[in-house]
Amino acid sequence: MSPPAVLVIGASGAIGSTLIDELVPDHQTGLLRLVAATRRQEAARPLRERGIEVRHLDLDDAETGGLDAIQSIFEGIDKVFILTGYDVRMLAQSKAAVDAANGAGVSHVVHLGVSAAEDTTVAHFIWHQLVEAYIERSGLGFTHVRPSGFMQNLRLSLGAPGVLTHFVGDGRPNWVDIGDIAAVAATVLRDPKPHHGRAYDLAAEAASITEIADLLGEVTGRPWRYEPAEPRIFYEQMVAAGYDPIYMSCVRNTFERTINGSLVDPADVYDTIETVIGRQATSLRQFLERHRDTFVR
């Protein structure tokens, strides 16, 4: 009897590649057959060198060529991890992925969304909730994985030596390590039954950038400080770099609302990581210690 096939969409991205790493041992021991989907041809070779089947997938092809343009990618697949692009196209991309999965007889999908209040008014949070609602009405087995802010993004806050620059003022956002997100998704993909119909908000710790700078000082033995910046600067930089202006205006809005205190989407820290994977979530201190060399330049 063949092992179940797991398709990871976005396999070359930060979360997708970490999920691949989590599932490779199961692939090597025959517990599952791992299939990586990526639209970047240059990402295929290192995956194949690890003995992983790679399928080229560009979900935008469904818009121009119909569902048949991507349907074959989902054939023979039992379980799918869905991670789409961070722009408004995620709505069409996710629907196409769900419809193709349904047409191929996939039994379970794990969707990567965002941790947000049920009545959120933040536009890109709403997009994720609309995708979740479509998945729930599709008839597929499903699990929603909803992370808060990625600890890995703190590396983008590096300014001058000893300086963290961010756009949330004195707010205390929630944080989660990408490795823990991947571990939760991998646990569900290995055995979806206990997780069917569940939604897992992932938030290990809340902390301000000032608190994180203090932690960095303890970890590195060097002084660190936080220099807040205006959210409009973030928006201008990201748009200039080619990112979707609509999506980046949504992110700017979350920064502005974090500063003024109107964003509580949600405010809680959860024990879901420990519950699902059976170990404590990675703390900010552990993350900073693990990546100390990134911050000491």
Residues 67-78: pLDDT tens digits? 999 999 999 999
Other beta carbons within 10 angstroms of residue 73's beta carbon come to 23
**Would you give the DSSP letter of residue 72?**
G
List residues bridging with 8 in a β-sheet: 36, 81
In the block, tokens 């609509």 appear at 246
pLDDT at res. 6 = 98
Q: If pLDDT is split at 50, 70 and 90, which confidence band does 87 have?
A: confident
Going from N- to C-terminal start, the domains of the chain cover 5-151+175-203+267-279
Other beta carbons within 10 angstroms of residue 137's beta carbon come to 9
Question: Would the pLDDT of 104 be above 80?
Answer: yes
CB 56 within 8 A of CB 23: no
CA distances to 60, 64, 233 from 172, in Å = 36, 42, 20
Q: What are the structure tokens assigned to 211, written together?
A: 């608190």
List residues bridging with 142 in a β-sheet: 109
Q: Of 60, 10, 58, 51, give the one whose Cα is nearest residue 33.
A: 51
CB 86 within 8 A of CB 216: no
Fold designation for 5-151+175-203+267-279: Rossmann fold (3.40.50)
User: Residue 277: phi, psi to the nearest 5?
Assistant: -105, -10
- In percent, how much of the chain has pLDDT > 70? 99
Mean per-residue pLDDT, 215-234: 96
> Could you read off the pLDDT of 137-188 as tens digits, one per residue?
999 999 999 999 999 999 989 888 899 999 999 999 999 999 999 999 999 9
* H/E element, 34: strand 33-38
CB 115 within 8 A of CB 123: no
**Angle value at C-alpha 105, between 101 and 109, nearest 5 degrees:** 45
Other beta carbons within 10 angstroms of residue 232's beta carbon come to 12
> Could you read off the pLDDT of 204-217 as tens digits, one per residue?
999 999 999 999 99
> Could you read off the pLDDT of 248-257 as tens digits, one per residue?
999 999 999 9
Question: Would the pLDDT of 267 be above 70?
Answer: no
Intra-chain end-to-end CA distance of the chain, in Å: 52
Q: Of 84, 79, 17, 95, give the one whose Cα is nearest residue 52.
A: 17
How many whole angstroms separate alpha carbon 238 and alpha carbon 234?
6
> Could you read off the pLDDT of 16-59 as tens digits, one per residue?
999 999 999 999 999 999 999 999 888 899 999 999 999 999 99
Question: Would the pLDDT of 270 be above 90?
Answer: no
